[in-house]
Structure 1
Amino acid sequence: MSQFAEPTETVEANRYELTALDRCDACGAQAYIRVQVATGELLFCAHHGRKHQEKLSTIAQSWHDESARLHESD
């Protein structure tokens, strides 16, 4: 059973919760994905979030995805 919300639903519910100060744990780019696991949280850019999503889905308690913001225009 998946515990993940659809990205658009998550973005609307928690609009701009992640900021430019939140950085990807893998590469240091701006984080758009927050994954809550039993030992804490992981932050990822959109690229690394997608790359690790399948593996993390087995241990993730929640998945907050704001990557849809990358396609918004100002």
Structure 2
Amino acid sequence: MILNVIAEKLKRTSKDDFKGRHFEAWLILQAVSWYLRYPLTYRNIKDMFLERGFAVDHTTLNRWTLAYAPLIEKRLRVK
């Protein structure tokens, strides 16, 4: 799965990218991945996580996307 590839590349290159976050890296990567891959709003993703037992605000999802989308793209382009 693409998410696993992204997670592995991020783990190998920098452990500090997710340091200090209140949520685990896999949750952040899942949220950013859903936002970039599918026509979902931040509130849609918030509701999807709430159904799974995770309370995440839509503004948090926006901050994650702004912070991690460029990082994910950069790491995927590195060979």
Structure (1 or 2) with the greater helix fraction: 2
TM-score (norm 1): 0.28
